[in-house]
């Protein structure tokens, strides 16, 4: 069965620090990969997605993620975080079809 | 607001009671999903509708759960004989059918209905 693992449940950073959130999935075939974000009091929203092509994808608000097929990973990065990036981040995988599998999420707190 | 809406936002019920939640998707979206999210976990897929047809149902959805989408517009999720283990956030999402590959369509999430079963 497909699964998604997010390595850190809680991350605390100071403003301007660099961010990398890990995501690994278990599925051997072609996958579509997503990062969703939930800001405090708001709905889940799409941050970025990978379907094919360049494995380095750029999303909103300066976020990017790199798909490394050999490592089954899709890590999220941002060079310099802001206080407004405080949120919960979810990695998700779809192997085609209706079902998208989400990781458990990583809560990021950015200290001003 | 033209996003996905859910009603109610919060529901407290006693064990054994029935509850029904409603989801109104973005109007032009023909695909609708229900998820359940418990504390410390990500959303778990429950079921999927394309227009009015329920095409996929997770094994998480026991016989006490039923979902409908009459006329392919709003959807309802009913839980009968609620149990304390049903306490969770129930999320609805919708997506358009523009891309051939279903997973290519971005899912837009609603605010969720938080269910507490006492």
Cα B97 from Cα B29, distance rounded (Å): 7
Interchain pair B107, A99: CB under 8 A? no
A43 touches chain B (CB under 8 A): yes
The DSSP output letter for A25 is: E
Residue B59 pLDDT > 90: no
The DSSP output letter for A80 is: S
Interchain pair B42, A97: CB under 8 A? no
Of the partner residues B35, B42, B111, the one whose CB lies closest to the CB of residue A43: B111
pLDDT score of B108: 93
Residue B1 pLDDT > 80: no
End-to-end CA distance of chain A: 41
Of the partner residues A32, A45, A105, the one whose CB lies closest to the CB of residue B103: A32
Of the partner residues A43, A97, A103, the one whose CB lies closest to the CB of residue B109: A43
Q: What is the mean pLDDT of each run of 10 residues along chain A (112 residues)?
A: 89 97 90 94 93 92 95 97 97 86 96 92
Average of per-residue pLDDT values in chain B: 91
Interface probe with A: pick from B59, B103, B108, most Cβ of A within 10 Å: B103
pLDDT score of B102: 59
Residue B41 pLDDT > 60: yes
Residue B58 pLDDT > 90: no
Task: Tell me how many degrees the CA angle A4-A6-A12 measures, rounded to the nearest 5.
Answer: 160
Cα of B11 vs its chain's centroid, Å? 14
Interface probe with B: pick from A30, A33, A98, most Cβ of B within 10 Å: A98
Work out the average pLDDT over B25-33.
Answer: 92
> pLDDT category, B49, cuts 50, 70, 90?
very high
Task: Tell me how many degrees the CA angle B7-B116-B50 measures, rounded to the nearest 5.
Answer: 45
pLDDT in tens, B73-117: 999 999 999 999 999 999 999 998 766 665 667 899 999 999 999
What 3-state DSSP class applies to A84?
A: helix
Rg (CA), chain B: 14
Q: Is the dihedral of CA B89, B63, A2, B93 positive or negative?
A: negative
């Amino acid at each position: 069965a497909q699964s998604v693992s997010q390595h850190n449940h809680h991350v605390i950073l100071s403003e301007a620090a660099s961010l990398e959130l890990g995501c690994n999935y278990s599925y051997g075939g072609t996958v579509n990969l997503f990062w969703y974000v939930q800001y405090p009091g708001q709905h889940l929203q799409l941050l970025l997605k990978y379907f094919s092509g360049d494995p380095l994808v750029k999303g909103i608000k300066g976020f990017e993620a790199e798909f490394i097929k050999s490592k089954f990973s899709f890590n999220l990065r941002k060079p310099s975080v802001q206080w407004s990036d405080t949120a919960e981040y979810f990695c998700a995988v779809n192997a085609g079809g209706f079902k998208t599998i989400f990781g458990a999420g990583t809560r990021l707190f950015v200290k001003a | 607001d033209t996003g996905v809406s859910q009603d109610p936002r919060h529901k407290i019920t006693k064990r054994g009671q029935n509850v029904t939640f409603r989801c109104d998707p973005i109007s032009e979206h023909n695909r609708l999903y229900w998820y359940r999210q418990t504390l410390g976990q990500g959303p778990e897929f429950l079921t999927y509708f394309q227009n009015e047809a329920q095409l996929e149902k997770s094994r998480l959805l026991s016989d006490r759960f039923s979902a409908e989408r009459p006329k392919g517009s709003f959807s309802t999720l009913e839980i009968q004989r609620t149990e304390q283990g049903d306490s969770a956030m129930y999320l609805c999402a919708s997506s358009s059918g523009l891309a051939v590959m279903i997973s290519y369509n971005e899912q837009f999430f609603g605010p969720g209905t938080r269910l507490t079963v006492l």
